[in-house]
Chains A and B, each alone.
Chain A
Amino acid sequence: MSLDFSFIWTAFVSLLTAVPTTLKITAVSVLCGFAIGTAIALCRMYRVPVLHRIAAAYVTVIRGTPMLTHLLILYFAIPLIVDGLAERFDWAIRSAQIPMIGFAYLSFSITAGAYLSEVVRSGLLAVSKGQMEAAHAVGMTTPQALRRIVFPQAFAAALPNLTNSVIGMLHGSTLAFTVSVVDINAQAEIVATTNWKFFEAYLAAALLFWGMTVLIERLSALLERRVTRYSRGGVA
């Protein structure tokens, strides 16, 4: 068996059908993760009595365990919980009705939340305290000051780390194959096993991921130039 270059293209084309799934998992987990992460970062920064301890524990536990274990635990725990509750309260839903991709969404959002909370926290800490004080001085309330003054600057400061997290989640979405979601990785396996051309199929998948990663990096570089415009210095 030798290398079949034309098959790399064939595999590449058939992998494209799975791109939306991968992107959906990435987008959902990053967006939900960002919301969770922001809430957690604020809890920890403002030391909300009980919540900040829980938040700290959540971040430590999630960051200390592999993403795969989160997915596997939830995959087996959720049906047990849902069915248990449904039986007790006579709900009509059963765990079998939950689509497979739902587990991926939920688990990866939880994972992303912990990682993104650190990103958001470091971004918020990068904004100098004087900005907040100045906002208070001109009469803004704390939520206003956060939204109008602190968040835009924190976003600019956190963008490189945020990009890394997005890429991390994109790469992490390959784990979804363990719960039988057909993402790019699973599609590559299907293409590989049906044609018995493993190397070509995975090469195509690697090239696809590489291209997507480079694209995200480029886009983030463009965005960075836009959002850091306020701090370019100089006079013009």
Chain B
Amino acid sequence: MGAQFDIQYVFEYFVKLLPFIQISLFIVASSIVLGLLFGLLAALPRLYRVPVLQRLSQLYASFFRGTPILIQLFLLYYGLPEVLKLVHIDITRLPVLVFVILVYGLHSGAYVSEGIRAAVSAVDRGQVEAAYAVGMNGFQAFTRIVFPQAIAIAVPILANLVIATLKDTSLAFTLGVMELTGKSQTLATMSRHFIESYIALAAVYFILSIALERLFLLAERRMLKHERDTGKTEKVPLGKKWLKKRTNAAIALSKGGTGA
């Protein structure tokens, strides 16, 4: 199958893969930005219980969480141009990367919407009531009081999502995008040193995910500063426990948040 194992190739391919980190990270970054947008749009109708839109966003989240990302990639890549052809929009000439980013955006959007729901529900209901009491309207209460607190809670969820998306980008090669995985395959086909190439690939992904994890840990500490300032000894463990608690969004929603 392959040639004899030669550790030299691992280092060689590792270096050759480095320039392709940026395209993988570009896919991750743009799809997370898109996902945050889709997620917020999908979460709001459910938080405020908007009649029909609530069902639609439920359906959206269920579909994109209930099907494998690989199937979604193929489905949108082949399906979207055909659907849009019905309304006479031709997108067949768009680069593949656009489809890939759109799919990852929609996919992460479904998870973001669930995350936002859980995070908003985790903000104490009293916070919203207090905001109303000092005369804010619903929009102000959400943007000034609930959202900043929810963001801090959502950071670990977001961190997981970003790392999961990074690992998912390894599937973009199926549509022919030249990112890390795609490159590692073309590198190996020339020399037949497959294992070395894939070990280098795994190392690159590993370093990237560890780096991202560290970054998010720093961000989390920074954002939870407001928790620590009051009552230093007591609040720190409490804040952490509260973070690690897995909130069941469906149950927790009735207990707090902006809606209900």
Q: Which residues of A contact B (CB under 8 A)?
A: 1-3, 60-61, 63-70, 72-73, 76-77, 79-80, 95, 160-161, 167, 170-172, 174-175, 185, 188-189, 192, 198-199, 202-203, 205-206, 209-210, 213-214
Closest to B78 in A: A198
* CB < 8 Å neighbour of A174 from B68, B78, B206: B68
Please give, as numbers and ranges, the residues of chain B lying within 8 Å of A95 by CB-CB distance. 1
Given known contacts A80-B2, A203-B79, A210 and B205 CB-to-CB distance under 8 angstroms: no
Q: A69-B201, A80-B5, A198-B74 are in contact. Are A209 and B167 (CB under 8 A)?
A: no
Majority SS at the chain B contact face:
helix
Known contacts A65-B205, A79-B1; decide if A199 and B195 are in contact (CB<8 Å).
no
Complex Cα gap A171–B70 (Å): 8
Chain B neighbourhood of A192, CB < 8 A = 74, 78
Q: How far is the CA of A235 from the CA of B181 in the complex (A)?
A: 58
13 example contacts (A-B, Cβ-Cβ < 8 A) are as follows A68-B170, A68-B171, A69-B181, A72-B194, A72-B201, A73-B198, A185-B71, A192-B74, A202-B78, A206-B72, A209-B66, A209-B71, A214-B66
> In terms of DSSP, what is the predominant structure of the interface of chain A?
helix
A2 partner residues in chain B, CB cutoff 8 A: 82, 85-86
Which residues of B are at the interface with A, using a C-beta cutoff of 8 A? 1-2, 5, 62-63, 65-72, 74-75, 78-79, 82-83, 85-86, 163, 167-168, 170-171, 181, 194-195, 198-199, 201-202, 205-206, 209-210, 246, 248
Contacts of B170 in A (CB 8 A): 66, 68-69
Q: A65-B167, A66-B205, A69-B201 are in contact. Are A210 and B67 (CB under 8 A)?
A: yes
Tell me whether B206 and A65 are in contact (CB under 8 A).
Answer: yes
Give the chain B neighbours of A61 by CB distance below 8 A.
202, 206
User: A64 contacts B66, CB within 8 Å?
Assistant: no
Q: Give, as a whole number of angstroms, the nearest-CB distance from A203 to chain B.
A: 6
Residues from chain A with a CB closer than 8 A to the CB of B85 are 2
Contacts of A1 in B (CB 8 A): 82
Q: How far is the CA of A103 from the CA of B168 in the complex (A)?
A: 20
Q: B248 — which chain A residues lie within 8 A by C-beta? A: 160
Task: Tell me the bound Cα distance from A60 to B205 in angstroms.
Answer: 12
**A2 CA / B82 CA spacing, docked (Å):** 7
Q: What residues on B are CB-neighbors of A214 within 8 Å?
A: 62, 66
Taking the nearest CB of chain B, how far is it from the CB of A236, in angstroms? 21
Could you tell me the distance between the alpha carbons of A5 and B80 in the complex, rounded to whole angstroms?
16
Q: Contacting B78 at CB < 8 Å: which of A64, A72, A80, A199? A: A199
User: Which residue from chain A places its CB closest to the CB of B213 in the assembled complex?
Assistant: A64
A65, A73, A203 — which one has the most chain B CB atoms within 10 A of its CB? A65
Question: Shortest beta-carbon distance, A22 to chain B, in Å?
Answer: 10
Report chain A residues within 8 Å CB of B206: 61, 64-65
Of the candidates A65, A174, A202, A203, which one forms a contact with B202 in the assembled complex, judged by CB atoms under 8 Å apart? A65
Known A80-B1, A210-B62: A69·B202 in contact at CB below 8 Å: yes
Contact B70 A185 (CB under 8 A): yes
Using A65-B209, A69-B202 as known contacts, say yes or no to A206 and B195 having CB atoms under 8 A apart.
no
**20 additional A-B residue pairs with CB within 8 Å, beyond A65-B205, A66-B168, A80-B195:** A3-B82, A63-B209, A65-B206, A65-B209, A68-B171, A73-B195, A73-B198, A76-B2, A79-B1, A80-B5, A167-B66, A171-B68, A171-B70, A188-B71, A198-B79, A202-B71, A202-B78, A206-B63, A209-B71, A210-B62
Contacts of A167 in B (CB 8 A): 66
Cβ–Cβ contact B75 & A199, under 8 A = yes
Contact with A68, one of B66, B78, B181 (Cβ below 8 angstroms): B181
CA distance A70 to B74 in the complex (A): 22
Which 4 A-B pairs rank lowest in CB-CB distance, beginning with the nearest? A198-B78, A171-B68, A213-B66, A66-B167
Residues of B within 8 A of A175 (CB): 70, 171
Chain A nearest Cβ from B231, distance in angstroms: 25
Docked CA distance A66–B66 (Å): 19
CB neighbours (8 Å) of A189 from chain B are: 74
With A67-B167, A198-B74 in contact, do A206 and B67 touch (Cβ < 8 Å)? yes
| Interchain CB contact under 8 A, B67 and A213 | yes
Residues on the A chain within 8 Å of B83, using CB: 3
